[in-house]
């Protein structure tokens, strides 16, 4: 069975790496990946990482420590490779003096507090934008609803007006037709009355002539009786 060859990498991380909790993150990564070595702050503001592992593991570790997660921001890594010495039994964080570590701790805490405040501010801004957007959407919906309601009322008014006009026309036509029928009936009745009246007049004249003839006959009959007696 072949034994994997271990190598050493001396890494210098530049950027926002001190007073940001970077060393603790590097330590956690190294222990999870089985990397041995140490990490320490340097006076120039960079962080030095000494790491020993197999070439494959070390390559993944170098990529993993290129962190850009606020408040950590690694802008550059300087890496020098060499032979592993085997001097490390595990991975450790090398602290500075007490004053330095106190400043490191306060600085890290302040950055996380500021980050939380910024996230909260952005969150409030998103909520505010959401409220404004919702208000605008609601306003638009109300305006649209008002337009639709106004349009519906106008259409209903037009339909009602049209219905009334049609009903008026139908009623007018019905009355006109009825008036025409009544006039026609009255004309027919008048014509029939005239015909009946003419017939009555003619009958009365004939009756008058018959009465006159009867009277003449009666007178003639009376005269004859007188002459005989």
Catalytic residues: 23, 41
In this structure, what is the dihedral angle of CA atoms 190, 195, 197, 198, given to the nearest 10 degrees?
A: 140
Q: Cα Rg for the chain, rounded, in angstroms?
A: 62
Q: For residue 139, what are its two tokens?
A: 């306003």
Neighbours of 84 (CB within 10 A): 19
Any residues with CB less than 8 A from the CB of 55 and at least 6 apart, and which? 4, 5, 6, 7
Closest alpha carbon to 91 in 42, 52, 48: 52
CB 53 within 8 A of CB 33: yes
Neighbours of 192 (CB within 10 A): 10
Strand partners, 140: none
Give the phi and the psi of residue 86 in degrees, each rounded to 5: 75, 15
């Amino acid at each position: 069975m072949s034994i994997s060859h271990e190598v050493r990498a001396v890494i210098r991380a530049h950027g926002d790496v001190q007073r940001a909790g970077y060393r603790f993150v590097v330590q956690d990564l190294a222990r999870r990946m089985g990397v041995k070595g140490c990490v320490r702050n340097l006076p120039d503001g960079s962080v030095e990482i000494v790491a020993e592992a197999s070439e494959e593991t070390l390559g993944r570790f170098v990529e993993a420590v290129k962190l850009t997660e606020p408040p950590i921001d690694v802008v550059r890594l300087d890496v020098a490779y060499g032979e592993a010495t085997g001097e490390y039994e595990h991975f450790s964080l090398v602290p500075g003096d007490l004053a330095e570590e106190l400043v490191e701790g306060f600085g890290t805490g302040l950055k996380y507090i500021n980050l939380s405040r910024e996230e909260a501010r952005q969150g409030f801004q998103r909520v505010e934008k959401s409220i404004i957007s919702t208000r605008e959407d609601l306003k638009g919906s109300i305006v649209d609803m008002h337009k639709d309601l106004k349009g519906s009322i106008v259409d209903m008014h037009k339909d009602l007006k049209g219905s009334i006009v049609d009903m008026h026309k139908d009623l007018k036509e019905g009355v006109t037709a009825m008036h025409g029928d009544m006039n026609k009936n009255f004309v027919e009745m008048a014509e029939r009355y005239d015909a009946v009246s003419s017939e009555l007049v003619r009958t009365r004249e004939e009756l008058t002539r018959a009465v006159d003839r009867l009277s003449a006959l009666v007178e003639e009959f009376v005269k004859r009786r007188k002459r005989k007696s």
